[in-house]
Chains A and B, each alone.
Chain A
């Protein structure tokens, strides 16, 4: 933690982007998320940690209604982004997902050119009036993805020809191309080597200037490095949620303590 970040935090303490209240998720009989309340701050990185099957990815997927695609999945409670309930019948999930971008565990570029990967979302949402505007959108997104310098000379080469770390940054560029307000990342570095991981982590810290970032990670060290807030999930419960420094130096709950210090809980 450095002082500037502490200052940031104090300033942005009340800036809630996502407000979840009494969220329950069922997969058939399986009660995957149990009555979770959480406020996710704007322009901060929030990390979700917890053992496999604890519900952290499930909860993340509630935030852009990705769980809608699973028929056995039932969600109750309320999730508001900027005071708009995203499960309201008037909300179009496609529009929602433009506002709430997502990056997945494995880099999943479309089998298209680098340019078309990034231009895909803006095209669907009609964000560019002409070719020139689209070029600008693509360049801005690739710059935000910290990959522009590496690909600017081969924008029309297939994205699948890039390295894993580059592909993941293309996916991040693709996610930010639609100017989302929230960026969800589900273990974005688990398929990357340490150098690519460091690049993506650096990128996450930059993205924080413009977006509310929520990241699910199995790497405790990564959560500690990139996030300002950390939420610990265990067996579907949100056990503890707080300032990342506090969670990693002096957690309140013994389950959190056991998990982060690698103990048999």
Chain B
């Protein structure tokens, strides 16, 4: 990690590095779960979906280990300043990653149901693009974490806007399908939840990027990012 100077107690450095390495490992697993979840949906691959569902346990286990290690470091080292911010942040990063993993698992679950239904033209490909965007945001958030790169983290925060807009577009698309053909309602409802899951992943990754800014600067970024999910106000007439 990019914390220039070392502690006098080198075991303290090793503990901090180990706990941050766990976040990166967890992040790698979650990235794969996002991509595999979306791919399983697009290629109607039940086996891949099952793999994503099973893989969630490993993610949860790392989260638990992060929590235990963080508690241990707090108890033993009484971290202050930057070290304290790192410890507080890894707890939040791990919690966010665990939630993103859950959403990926939920996509995989819905895939196993959706394969039994008539496909909705174009939706799977759009969802996969959206998932791909979120996965890149997550990768960049993790890179920003490793490098303590505030600019990259801010860039991730701003990209959440695009995810929200993709979600808005899909929301309207599903609404249209359902109005045109009520037989598509079940599939569209499932797909809508998939879209919502990905949209929520974007929000969580945004929170992670904000934590990176906090580690690097000591304060959270100003809350100026645009909120582009307007579906809460959607009506049929629009």
Contacts and interface: CB of A to CB of B under 8 A. Distances in A.
A, B from the same assembly:
yes
Interface of A: 220-221, 224, 248-251, 257-258, 260-265
A264 B81 contact: no
Contacts of A248: 80-81, 84
Contacts of B84: 248-249
Given A249-B218, A250-B218, A262 B12 contact: yes
Contacts of A224: 80
Contacts of A250: 81, 85, 218-219
A257 B85 CA distance: 12
A-B complex: 8 closest residue pairs judged by Cβ atoms: A250-B218, A248-B80, A263-B5, A260-B80, A261-B83, A262-B7, A261-B81, A263-B7
A72 B106 CA distance: 77
A261 B9 CA distance: 10
Contacts of A220: 80
Interface of B: 5-9, 12, 78-85, 218-219
Contacts of A264: 5-8
Contacts of B80: 220, 224, 248-249, 260-261
Contacts of B82: 257, 261
B78 A251 contact: no
Given A248-B80, A249-B84, 17 more contacts: A220-B80, A224-B80, A248-B84, A249-B80, A250-B81, A250-B85, A250-B218, A251-B81, A258-B5, A260-B81, A261-B82, A262-B8, A263-B6, A263-B8, A264-B6, A264-B7, A265-B5
A235 to B, nearest CB: 17
A260 B77 CA distance: 12
Nearest to B3: A263
A263 B78 CA distance: 14
B37 to A, nearest CB: 38
Contacts of B81: 248-251, 257, 260-261
B87 to A, nearest CB: 11
A9 B7 CA distance: 33
A248 to B, nearest CB: 5
A265 B81 CA distance: 14
A264 B8 CA distance: 6
A250 B88 CA distance: 13
A50 B219 CA distance: 26
Nearest to A251: B81
Given A261-B83, A262-B12, A221 B78 contact: yes
